[in-house]
Amino acid sequence: MGAREWSVNRKSQILHVLPQLTIIGFVIIACFILRKVSTINTQLTQIMSTQAELAAELAAKTAQIRKAIDEITTRLAALEEAVRNAPATPELTAAVAALGAAVQAADDIVPDALPAPGN
């Protein structure tokens, strides 16, 4: 077999095998992509679970702070009423006023929601 015949024969073999290699390449790439998608899906599920846990924790803390604010406001109102209805020393009146100012300062940490435009 001459060099030319060998070259033609080799090209023919390569061209015959090429589609099979292409299919194998696509299968390998598809497997790689599916593996990456699976990894991304697992990570996304973990992130969503973490966000759900954080949302639940935030809701619980929000409920807790609202309860505390309601209790403080109720007790402050009772103290203010007691000071108005009974003889109180200037020190007691000042202490109740200071407590009221502190409660207002805590309330001012987060501004009240602005009314929607057009309301």
pLDDT tens digit sequence for 8-23: 676 676 667 667 767 7
- Give pLDDT, residue 11: 66
Residue 119 lies in a domain: no
Q: pTM for the full model?
A: 0.48
Residue 10 lies in a domain: yes
For 58, counting Cβ atoms within 10 Å of its Cβ (0-12 exposed, 13-18 middle, 19+ buried), the class is exposed
Structural domain range at position 33: 3-108
From 107, 46, 52, select the one nearest 76 (Cα to Cα): 107
First CA to last CA distance, the chain: 94
Residue 102 lies in a domain: yes
Residue 115 lies in a domain: no
CA distance linking residue 70 with residue 78, whole number of Å? 12
Q: Which two tokens stand for residue 25?
A: 């390449």
Q: Structurally, how many domains does the chain consist of?
A: 1
pLDDT tens digit sequence for 58-116: 999 989 988 988 888 888 888 888 888 888 888 888 888 888 888 888 888 877 777 77
